[in-house]
């Protein structure tokens, strides 16, 4: 009676048997409960049930899990490739915008842009739109300041390479421009301090030329010792 009742409960029909076996490998029920009626019939049936559960759990489900993991990794790799391609496309577009802006400023086709030409393009609506796409919000009254930041060599003119490098550094909000200005000033101050340090080292060593003090313009004035 009890054994037949359990057999009927777990294996009374094909759908019921499939349902029981699925629950045994998916955590729906303890696999030993539906296995007990089989063991009561014959121990070998319990062994076969155990082999089924072990094969399903450790082989089939692991294979299925591996397939899902592999597909997820593949999708992730494709996403990374797409991100790289998007970055390259954005970089290509950015370079095109920079070249177009420089070309508009270089009206004389000399390969160089001076401060006057730069101030002219800053006031142009089309150039303002390009600046905006490049991540720069710049007004007419700050054009000379920005040009000074782009002119790393203090030559009064900038090349395309200097222009692109400078735009890359100061792109963003006005706060980025301010930080770049501080960086520029600190580098200039460091050069002056280094010059003074070298001068005082020569002065300490008693060199004759050490009585001539360097000024900010790299000129020298005589000083008494």
pLDDT digits (tens, 9 = 90+) for 63-83: 888 888 888 877 777 777 788
Query: Which structural domain range is residue 162 located in?
Result: 106-171
Indicate whether 100 belongs to any domain.
no
Whether the pLDDT of residue 88 is over 50: the answer is: yes
Q: What is the CATH number of the domain that holds 122?
A: 1.10.238.10
Indicate whether 60 belongs to any domain.
yes
Q: Extract the tokens encoding 103.
A: 């070309």
Indicate whether 204 belongs to any domain.
no
- Determine the Cα–Cα distance for residues 225 and 205; give it in Å rounded to an integer: 13
Q: Are residues 12 and 67 in the same domain?
A: yes
Q: What is the 3 state secondary structure string of the chain?
A: CHHHHHHHHHHCCHHHHHHHHHHHHHCCCCCHHHHHHHHHHCHHHHHHHHHHHHHHHHHHHHHHHHHHHHHHHHHHHHHHHHHHHHHHHHHHHHHHHHHHHHHHHCCCCCCCEEHHHHHHHHCCHHHHHHHHHCCECCCHHHHHHHHHHHCCCCCCEECHHHHHHHHHHHCECHHHHHHHHHHHHHHHHHHHHHHHHHHHHHHHHCCHHHHEEECCCCCEEECCC
Q: What is the CATH number of the domain that holds 70?
A: 1.10.287
- Determine the Cα–Cα distance for residues 202 and 197; give it in Å rounded to an integer: 9
Q: Extract the tokens encoding 212.
A: 């001539």
Segment 106-164, tens digit of pLDDT: 888 888 888 888 888 887 888 888 888 877 777 767 778 878 877 777 788 888 888 88
Q: Are residues 2 and 73 in the same domain?
A: yes
Give the global pTM. Answer: 0.40
Among 30, 61, 78, which residue terminates a domain?
78
Indicate whether 207 belongs to any domain.
no
Q: Are residues 65 and 114 in the same domain?
A: no
Whether the pLDDT of residue 204 is over 50: the answer is: yes
Indicate whether 4 belongs to any domain.
yes
Q: Are residues 8 and 72 in the same domain?
A: yes
The band of 193, judged by pLDDT with boundaries at 50, 70 and 90, is very high
Indicate whether 215 belongs to any domain.
no
Return the higher-pLDDT residue of 92 and 137: 92
Q: Are residues 51 and 115 in the same domain?
A: no
Indicate whether 164 belongs to any domain.
yes
Indicate whether 63 belongs to any domain.
yes
Count up the domains in the chain and report the number. Answer: 2
Q: Extract the tokens encoding 180.
A: 């770049």
């Amino acid at each position: 009676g009890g054994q037949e009742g359990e057999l009927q409960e777990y294996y009374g029909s094909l759908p019921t048997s499939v349902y029981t076996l699925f629950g045994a490998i998916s955590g729906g029920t303890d696999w030993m409960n539906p296995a007990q009626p089989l063991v009561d019939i014959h121990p070998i049936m319990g062994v076969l049930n155990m082999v089924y559960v072990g094969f399903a759990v450790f082989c089939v489900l692991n294979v299925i899990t591996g397939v899902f993991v592999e597909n997820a990794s593949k999708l992730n790799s494709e996403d990374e490739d797409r991100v790289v391609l998007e970055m390259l496309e954005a970089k290509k577009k950015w370079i095109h915008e920079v070249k177009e802006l420089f070309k508009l400023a270089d009206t004389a086709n000399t390969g160089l842009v001076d401060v006057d030409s730069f101030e002219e393009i800053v006031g142009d609506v089309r150039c303002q739109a390009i600046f905006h796409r490049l991540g720069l919000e710049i007004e007419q009254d700050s054009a000379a300041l920005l040009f000074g930041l782009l002119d790393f060599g203090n030559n009064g003119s900038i090349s395309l390479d200097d222009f692109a490098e400078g735009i890359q550094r100061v792109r963003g909000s006005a706060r980025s421009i301010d930080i770049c200005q501080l960086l520029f000033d600190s580098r200039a101050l460091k050069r002056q301090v280094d010059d003074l340090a070298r001068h005082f080292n020569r002065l300490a060593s008693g060199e004759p030329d050490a009585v001539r003090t360097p000024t900010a313009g790299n000129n020298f004035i005589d000083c008494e010792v």
